[in-house]
Chain A
Amino acid sequence: MLLRWQARAGVRLALVQTLIVVLAFGLAGYLVQISLRQISQASIRTHVAGEVASLDDEFEQKGAHHLPYTVAKRSRLWRGFEYRLISANGALLAGKLPGSPALGWSRLSSDGPGGGRRHYLTYTKLMPDGARLTVGQDLAVEAGEMAAIDRSLVMCGVLGVMFCVGASYLFARGTWRRIAAVVATAQAVAQGRLTVRVDGHPGPPRDDIDELSSAFNEMLDRIGLLMAQVRQVSTDIAHDLRTPLTRFNQKLERLRSAAGVDPAMLRAIGGLEDDVSEILRTFDALLQLSEIEAADRGAQNKIADLAEVAARVGEAYRPDIEDSGRSLIIDVRPALVNGDGDLLAQGLANLLENALRHTHKGAQVQLTVNALPEGAELCVQDDGPGIAPEQRQRALRPFVRLEPSRSSGGSGLGLAIVAAVAARHAARLSLEDAAPGLRIGLCFPAVASGQTPEKLALIS
């Protein structure tokens, strides 16, 4: 299963990093802007105070009557300041600044000549003759400078974020790939391929991911060893039990020849032979089960037609089902699946035997195969007693027989074999109430792309 990209730990980390970088740049920019504004205001104040001091000096040197001329001249020549000189009785002597600000520092706004408001920082001084001199500087210049500074700050921020994202991508990309390799290996193992290993860095681990990979590989080695031991044990049991059973069988055959036509003796020998074959059936079923479970699923690139398998197995069982007083309905439509036809036949045979064994006389068994958009479905349904919902999972376990007497024959491995076949084909196995009866469904995934019926024709 593939995660959405937002859910990957690396992407989340990068997103969080980016957010932190953006916030840090924003805060730094804000602080820089505040201090720059303070510096800029302080410098405006210095300039304005200097101009006021210069006019004060004019007043001292040339007298009160000369000041309006000086102010008017400076206003005309425009040295970057605006002025307002008001006489002690309130008449405007020179300058263009509006309003009548209080003494000391203040801010003024006015409608400029071309429209639009202009803002000034002004200083007003009371001259010795009672006149009020106001000198102000237009803040538009300062605002323009601040805007330019803001633009640079934003540019720096964007570049910084891009740099951070790029760096973390370059750094994390390798990590993501290595984690993805571990995930892919784990998925392959989950599908039964125990031989795969994570491609690791040779030698001592460089970092925690190397450590993870090598620990993961060690774990797989250990699992492989245990599985091999289990297989070895079952092979050994097979050998050690089959050899004495062979001798047992041979002795029975000798007895049978010696018994001649004595009917009691022949019956007894027949009973013994049935017992041996029952032991062997359970034994075979157990070996089949461990074989299906242990098989390496990596090599599974065969295609089987579920309908062909179902028709073949169904027709093979039809005489037994019909002779036992039950009926069989086979309704199959072509449906290709990725899988092993032999194993599918084995699984289906177990389903039919199960239906044959656990239904009453007169029961109806239905075998259907349908092609669905999401894959193919094989279904065996009967109208027998069914299985209680709480018992259904348990019924799939080896040696579990639901009737307490264990009297209905069979090894108790049939449905476990079906479950193993389903797992090997990544098929979903469902046990449902058919009201009345049991409906066992196997939903196979759609055939992997690239394998078309034409290719199938070539293979067969």
Chain B
Amino acid sequence: MLAQSELRDGKCGCPQGPFGLSAVRILLIEDEPASASYIAGRLEEIGWSVEIAADGAVGVSRAVHGEFDVLIVDRMLPAIDGLSLVRTLRAQNINTPALFLTAMGSVADRVEGLESGGDDYLLKPFSFEELRARLQILAKRRLPQDAPSTVLVAKDLKLDRLQRSVSRGERAIDLLPLEFKLLEFLLLHAGEVVTRSMLLQQVWGFKFDPQTNIVETHISRLRGKIDLGGAKPLITTVRGAGYLIAPA
């Protein structure tokens, strides 16, 4: 519980702004003032800079002229709707990552959103932590990427992707294939919040939201194995968002 309340106000172990960037610059294109000011307020609390555009036309001109790390685009906007907005930007070769915020949640809507050039899709209502986790991943895309190493390390936990072995300190840990995949995914995103729906999609290949919280049970089994013998817990739960393994 302590870990959770620490995380809530953005004081988690990760640096302010992802990985060396002093602050993430966000363009929020949202016509509803209440939502816009809430999102902007929460993002500014964690030290990011946010600019708000209240309709699609303003959004396009700001995105063309400004320097942003991520765009947050509402799908239903006055003047130019969200899909056309992103298409217009992509046609002008502006490839700033874009996250759609929308109330339209069918698979067809998602596919349409991603095909128009959007990079992620978040369904309303969402928790702030989920939004933040996704924005962080999008912002990180702008940085040059190293090829992921074959041995992933977090504190004293080591996962060898080639030998498919896991150890904590001197102790070898025996994991089921699915548990290995889950831990591997968390370690590949060490320092980032990994949300429930990311895990469902990437680890289990589920494109739907199950009514049962199966992720939580798997994580708790995984914790049981890697934290065996009273070792310090490695995986932290981020309330309303997902899970996090702190890097080294």
Q: Which residues of A contact B (CB under 8 A)?
A: 235, 238-239, 242-243, 245-250, 253-254, 256-257, 261, 276, 280-281, 284-285, 287-288, 291, 312-313, 315-317, 319-320, 323, 341-342, 345-346, 349-350, 353, 356, 410-411, 414
Contacts and interface: CB of A to CB of B under 8 A. Distances in A.
B208 A349 contact: yes
A249 B125 contact: yes
Contact of A320 (B9, B105, B108, B212): B212
B219 to A, nearest CB: 9
Nearest to B209: A284
A353 B212 contact: yes
Interface of B: 5, 8-9, 32, 34-35, 38, 42, 76, 103-108, 123-128, 178, 204-214, 217-218, 220-221, 240
A410 B77 CA distance: 34
30 contacts: A238-B103, A238-B105, A239-B76, A239-B103, A242-B103, A242-B105, A242-B125, A243-B103, A245-B125, A246-B124, A247-B34, A247-B35, A247-B125, A253-B128, A253-B240, A276-B125, A281-B209, A291-B108, A312-B205, A313-B204, A313-B206, A315-B178, A316-B206, A316-B214, A317-B212, A319-B217, A349-B208, A350-B211, A353-B212, A411-B211
B205 A345 contact: yes
Nearest to A237: B103
Nearest to B219: A319
Given A250-B35, A319-B218, A256 B8 contact: yes
Contacts of A250: 34-35, 38, 125, 128
A245 B107 CA distance: 21
A177 B210 CA distance: 48
A339 to B, nearest CB: 14
B212 A291 contact: no
B5 A261 contact: yes
Contact of B127 (A253, A342, A411): A253
A291 B34 CA distance: 30
A382 B100 CA distance: 42
A356 B125 contact: no
B206 A349 contact: yes
Nearest to A342: B207
Contacts of A246: 35, 103, 124-126
Nearest to A288: B208
A271 to B, nearest CB: 15
A317 B214 contact: yes
B223 to A, nearest CB: 12
> Which of the listed residues B38, B125, B127 has the most CB atoms from chain A within 10 Å of its own CB?
B125
Contacts of B103: 238-239, 242-243, 246
A248 B125 CA distance: 9
Contacts of B220: 319
B210 A239 contact: no
A346 B38 contact: no
A256 B136 CA distance: 23
Nearest to A236: B103
Contacts of A350: 211
Contacts of A239: 76, 103-104
Contacts of A414: 211
A235 B125 CA distance: 15
Contacts of A319: 214, 217-218, 220-221
A243 B211 contact: no
Contacts of A313: 204, 206
Given A242-B103, A319-B217, A342-B207, 6 more contacts: A238-B105, A249-B127, A280-B125, A284-B209, A317-B214, A346-B208
B37 to A, nearest CB: 10
Contacts of A261: 5
Contacts of B218: 316, 319
Given A249-B125, A287-B106, A291-B106, A410 B211 contact: yes
A316 B204 CA distance: 7
A257 B35 contact: no
Contacts of A253: 42, 127-128, 240
A321 to B, nearest CB: 9
Nearest to A409: B211
Contacts of B204: 312-313, 316
Given A246-B125, A284-B105, A315-B178, A323 B217 contact: yes
9 shortest A-B CB distances, which residue pairs? A242-B103, A246-B125, A319-B217, A239-B103, A249-B125, A246-B124, A242-B124, A245-B125, A346-B208
Contacts of B211: 281, 285, 350, 353, 410-411, 414
Nearest to A417: B208
B75 to A, nearest CB: 9
> Which of the listed residues B35, B103, B206, B221 has the most CB atoms from chain A within 10 Å of its own CB?
B103
Contacts of A248: 125
B233 to A, nearest CB: 18
> Which of the listed residues B8, B108, B208 has the most CB atoms from chain A within 10 Å of its own CB?
B208
Contacts of A257: 8-9
Given A317-B214, A319-B221, A243 B124 contact: yes
Nearest to A248: B125
Nearest to B200: A316
B124 A245 contact: yes
A346 B105 CA distance: 16
Contacts of B42: 253
Nearest to A246: B125
Contacts of A410: 211
Nearest to B35: A246
Contact of A349 (B8, B9, B35, B210): B210
B240 to A, nearest CB: 7
A342 B204 CA distance: 11
A350 B209 CA distance: 11
A175 B127 CA distance: 62
Contacts of A345: 205-208
> Which of the listed residues B106, B218, B240 has the most CB atoms from chain A within 10 Å of its own CB?
B106
Contacts of A235: 104, 106
Nearest to A240: B103
B164 to A, nearest CB: 17
Contacts of B127: 249, 253
B217 A320 contact: yes
Contacts of A238: 103-105
Contacts of B106: 235, 287, 291
